[in-house]
Chains A and B, each alone.
Chain A
Amino acid sequence: DTAVSQTPKYLVTQMGNDKSIKCEQNLGHDTMYWYKQDSKKFLKIMFSYNNKELIINETVPNRFSPKSPDKAHLNLHINSLELGDSAVYFCASSHRSGTLDEQFFGPGTRLTVL
């Protein structure tokens, strides 16, 4: 009954490959997010979707493409992976996109690009 789940937990791949990370939330939330946590531990927002519509798109290479088939899912597809893409990617969700809404994070996906 995990609230926010991500798959896979670990992903090791070669440079140049295309990979996807899946995220699902069963909290009935309207807003979902993708964050990247690099080796320096900073968490940075990448994308935010509200009811399947993109509302935040920070400066992220267009090799990263989020896809939201429904409001319970927000998947992240990455094309032509680069060494610098190695990081932990966290999915999160909140009830609304309002500033006081608590965000619930998934367990993270550790991506290693060789």
Chain B
Amino acid sequence: KNQVEQSPQSLIILEGKNCTLQCNYTVSPFSNLRWYKQDTGRGPVSLTIMTFSENTKSNGRYTATLDADTKQSSLHITASQLSDSASYICVDNQAGTALIFGKGTTLSVSS
């Protein structure tokens, strides 16, 4: 079982709609949790980095939340745009070790 599980695996929404992506992580101690956006054929780009003491962090239309008690995080995308079509990857950064990547949620925004 992967240490970072994401759901749904894929999602299709209409342009302008909101959506929420989920991430469950299992490993602790926990240092920080990150969300990345990866466009097809490109490298991942950081959206948010949250420490375990933070509950929410926003980056434009992207808002990440974190519940360290339940080891869950979510990424909420508001007023989706066609350019939001990408893979969104949740990443657990344990203290002193490398990043652990989830498999990602593939989001398709259609007009």
Contact = CB atoms under 8 A, between A and B. Distances in A.
A4 B43 contact: yes
Interface in B19-45: 31-32, 41-45
Interface string A86-101: 0000101000000110
Contact of B45 (A41, A100, A105, A108): A105
B60 interface: no
A41 B41 CA distance: 12
Interface string A20-48: 00000000000000000000111111001
B111 to A, nearest CB: 25
A92 B89 CA distance: 16
A107 B43 CA distance: 5
Determine the interface band of chain A, counting residues with CB < 8 A from chain B.
20 to 34
Contacts, number: 45
B98 A48 contact: yes
B104 to A, nearest CB: 6
Nearest to B96: A99
B49 A106 contact: no
A105 B95 CA distance: 21
7 A-B pairs closest in CB distance: A105-B43, A45-B98, A43-B101, A99-B31, A102-B46, A105-B44, A90-B43
Interface of A: 4, 40-45, 48, 56, 58, 90, 92, 99-100, 102-108
